[in-house]
Amino acid sequence: MAKIQMKTPLVEMDGDEMTRVLWAMIKEKLILPFVDLKTEYYDLGLLHRNATQDKVTVEAAEAAKRLGVAVKCATITPNRQRMEEYPELTEMWKSPNATIRAILDGTVFRTPIMIDAIRPAVRTWEKPITIARHAYGDVYKAVELATTEAGEATLTFTRESGSVQTLSVQKVKGPAVFQAMHNTEGSIRSFARACFNFAVTTRQDLWFSAKDTISKVYDGRFKEIFDEEYEAYKGEFERLGIKYFYTLIDDAVARVIRSKGGFIWACKNYDGDVMSDMVSTAFGSLAMMTSVLVSPDGKYEYEAAHGTVTRHYYRYLKGEKTSTNPVATIFAWSGALRKRGELDGLTDLVDFGERLERACLDTLSSGVMTGDLAGLAEPGYCAKAVTSEEFIDAVAARLG
């Protein structure tokens, strides 16, 4: 059988631990036999990031900007414990995802992969709910202060032109805590555009929620910016029969639970952090969550939402065969290949991405799944827990 040809290479970002092991297996058994794979390879494994003073992460992100589509393996974000585990580390390197997100100015969209064998905890959900989380500012870049003494906190803004504006935050009679946070119009606009673009490409309604009744200036500005940006997409939304609407965060939560799913929920930074964990858990498993970073100018980076699955890796190092779920990582590859195919006008490549996903879903429906899912499967699916390799072989057999 002739292999499927590619035009533009994918940016391939390799990673760490168990997911790095799965990465090689997926390529060898599910991609290379079928696709004449072209990639620009960047090794974001922790030790190679260290050896390059983390330059490789920046180069990989620049390549994603240049080529437009990337696929990324999960990577270790070093913390104190990792510094002890890897004494050769010269620095506690930043999270690669944060570096890539900053360079691409992107928004992360997380979507669960739904299968019949696993019912969402919310009975009405029939289709996936995608969470779009704003990735800049608010409490994640706040300054905080605690006092044990009475006094007054003020908020002062000094304009470049020299004028000064001061507001009283609160006079306190005793111990108290304070917080000041910010966001920029530029970042909010990028977020809004990424959301509208994603809604158009995936043909789904877009919801945006905030709390502008209480936070009239701050959240109010988010709402206005979304409204302003929507003007440019309105025609396309109407043509596709999809809707944009804004609602208060508490109303959104109630509507989400009553909904059938099948839409994108754009959340501010903190709301997205919290809601994405709730939504992914209610859909079943972190190992079934896909993630794509989309920049406002239409660059894409696909990955799994989970981490490097360290506990399984240590069992693998002892020679055990693990039952780590490769589905979200396979979907990162299928998503990237499909998008590359769309952008380059290669129908075969688009079809292959779809076939690969279908093969995974059919394998799962046949009851062949990794341990994390077998434990959750509805009775009647006679789920059989297999190793990662057996699962990948079963998918390959369906593709071949």
Instruction: Write down the least CB distance from residue 286 to ligand NAP, Å.
Output: 5
Instruction: Write down the least CB distance from residue 273 to Mg ion, Å.
Output: 4
> Smaller CB distance to ligand NAP: residue 209 or 285?
285
Q: Which of 215, 310, 366, 387 binds ligand NAP (CB under 6 A)?
A: 310
Q: Are 18 and 317 in contact, with CB atoms under 8 Å apart?
A: no
Residue 287: DSSP 8-state: G
Q: Are 19 and 68 in contact, with CB atoms under 8 Å apart?
A: no
Read off the tokens for 220.
């109010």
Q: Which of 76, 117, 192, 396 binds ligand NAP (CB under 6 A)?
A: 76
187 lines the binding site for ligand NAP (CB under 6 A): no
324 lines the binding site for ligand NAP (CB under 6 A): yes
C-alpha–C-alpha distance, residues 7 and 16, integer Å: 28
259 lines the binding site for ligand NAP (CB under 6 A): no
C-alpha–C-alpha distance, residues 198 and 203, integer Å: 8
Q: Which residue has the tokens 């490769």?
A: 326
User: What does 324 interact with, of Mg ion, ligand NAP, none (CB < 5 to 8 A by kind)?
Assistant: ligand NAP
Give the residue nearest to Mg ion (CB). Answer: 273
321 lines the binding site for ligand NAP (CB under 6 A): no
Give the list of residues 6+ apart from residue 77 with CB closer than 8 angstroms, or none: 93, 94, 95, 96, 97
138 lines the binding site for Mg ion (CB under 5 A): no
Which span sits near ligand NAP by CB under 6 A: 121-129, 266-274, 305-313, 335-343? 305-313
Closest by CA to 147, choosing from 125, 169, 116, 162, is 169
Q: Which of 39, 57, 75, 111 binds ligand NAP (CB under 6 A)?
A: 75
Read off the tokens for 308.
């490097």
> Smaller CB distance to ligand NAP: residue 271 or 372?
372
Q: Which of 97, 209, 280, 295 binds ligand NAP (CB under 6 A)?
A: 97
Q: Which of 138, 224, 273, 344 binds Mg ion (CB under 5 A)?
A: 273
219 lines the binding site for ligand NAP (CB under 6 A): no
Closest by CA to 384, choosing from 312, 323, 321, 320, is 323
Q: Which of 12, 229, 271, 372 binds ligand NAP (CB under 6 A)?
A: 372
Residue 2: DSSP 8-state: P
> Smaller CB distance to ligand NAP: residue 31 or 287?
287
C-alpha–C-alpha distance, residues 312 and 272, integer Å: 28
> Smaller CB distance to ligand NAP: residue 171 or 311?
311
The residue count for the chain: 400
User: What does 307 interact with, of ligand NAP, Mg ion, none (CB < 5 to 8 A by kind)?
Assistant: ligand NAP
Q: Are 290 and 331 in contact, with CB atoms under 8 Å apart?
A: yes
204 lines the binding site for ligand NAP (CB under 6 A): no
Give the list of residues 6+ apart from residue 325 with CB closer than 8 angstroms, or none: 285, 287, 288, 369, 370, 372, 373, 388, 391
Q: Are 146 and 229 in contact, with CB atoms under 8 Å apart?
A: no
Q: Cβ of 105: how many Cβ atoms within 10 Å?
A: 19
User: What does 197 interact with, of Mg ion, ligand NAP, none (CB < 5 to 8 A by kind)?
Assistant: none
Binding site for ligand NAP (CB under 6 A): 74-77, 97, 286-287, 303, 306-311, 324-325, 372
